Amino acid sequence: MGDQRNDLVEDLPPKRAQDFSEEEDWPGYFGAVQGKGPRETLVFALDLFEQEGRGGGLAVDIAAGEGRDTVELLERGWSVVAMDNHPGAFPLLWAQVSEELKPGVKTVEVDFAKMEIPECDLVNASFALPFCKPEHFPRLWGKIVAAIWPGGRFAGQFFGDRDSWASIPNRTHHSREEVTKLLEGFEIEMMREEEKDDPPDVRNPKHWQLFHVVARKL
Ligand SMILES: C[S@@+](CC[C@H](N)C(=O)[O-])C[C@H]1O[C@@H](n2cnc3c(N)ncnc32)[C@H](O)[C@@H]1O
């Protein structure tokens, strides 16, 4: 009987980053995304700063994880405060930062509920905000908005209310109207809505509704 069960487990398609995210198995997630490049929202925001001749400011990377975006920021001349509450994140992040860039990054192990966000040019929150509990989200968002200097930017993702994970307790999802309302006081430079179904042959197919956002504070 035990052997049969093992056979069944082995027949499943392999876990991917999204399967670890669904379970909030962050070490599993960090392993699955190791070596991946920066998020498109971050790259879009950094390109806009550079077009304005404003590269190399101060960024706060919220829920930075193993550091894929923090590394990009550092390599493009930015100073970064990287925040995450998982103790497994920052050893992986530091391991990717060259000695000469290490003075440019400060890591803060902290929960969304207790984040104090320093004033900055850019708040980056890649695939991060949906994991903040709904009761803590309004305060966190208020701190994000207050921290960004006029002319600075927010980059990151919101998850939609039609996304499969909206029904998981303690997740924060938003309708398009709610995202637009959150971004009052910003000029929206990117708002790419992505809605799709996973193919049926993946381990745990889900419906995705994501908003990829870059916005400039007025
Ligand atoms: C899907 S990962 C995104 C990581 C990274 N920003 C990226 O784009 O790959 C979500 C991150 O949120 C962090 N996280 C989850 N719950 C958190 C909480 N309550 N406070 C702070 N960080 C949290 C996890 O440790 C993880 O690094």
Atom of ligand 1 nearest to the CA of 112: 20
Q: What is the mean pLDDT of the chain?
A: 95
- Beta strands 105-109 and 79-84: pairing type? parallel
**CB-CB neighbours of 49 under 10 Å:** 21
pLDDT of 11: 81
Tell me which of 60, 96, 131 to substitute to probe ligand 1's pocket, judged by most ligand atoms within 8 Å of the beta carbon. 131
Give CB contacts under 8 A, 24+ apart, made by 139-143: 139/113, 140/112, 140/113, 140/115, 141/182, 143/115, 143/116, 143/117
Structure tokens at 180: 């637009």
Output the pTM of the full model: 0.95
Query: Which ligand 1 atom is nearest residue 24's CA?
Result: 15
Q: What per-residue string of b and e applies to 117-130 under the rule 16 or more CB within 10 Å gives b? A: beebbbbbbbbbbb
In this prediction, residues 158-168 reach a mean pLDDT of: 98
Tens digits of per-residue pLDDT, 79-103?
Answer: 999 999 999 999 999 999 999 999 9
The dihedral of CA 17, 21, 26, 28: what is its sign? Answer: negative
- Cα dist from 214 to 20, 122, 126, whole Å: 26, 10, 11
pLDDT at 8: 57
Residue 155 CA to ligand 1 centre (angstroms): 15
Predicted local distance difference test score (pLDDT) of residue 5:
53
The minimum-distance atom of ligand 1 relative to the CA of 136 is 19
CA angle in degrees (0–180, nearest 5) for 218-137-35: 85
* Distance between Cα 5 and ligand 1 center (Å): 32
Question: Structural domain boundaries of the chain?
Answer: 37-217
Three-state SS for 129? helix
Mutate to test the pocket of ligand 1, among 86, 126, 165, 172 (most ligand atoms within 8 A of CB): 86
Ligand 1 binding residues, C-beta < 6 A: 21, 26, 29, 33, 39, 63-65, 68, 84-86, 89, 111-112, 126-128, 131
Interval between CA 214 and ligand 1 midpoint (Å): 19
Second CATH level (architecture) for the domain 37-217? 3-Layer(aba) Sandwich (3.40)
pLDDT of residue 211: 98
pLDDT over threshold 70, residue 145: yes
- Protein residue whose Cα sits closest to atom 13 of ligand 1: 63
Q: What is the pLDDT of residues 14-65, one digit of tens each?
A: 999 999 999 999 999 999 999 999 999 999 999 999 999 999 999 999 999 9
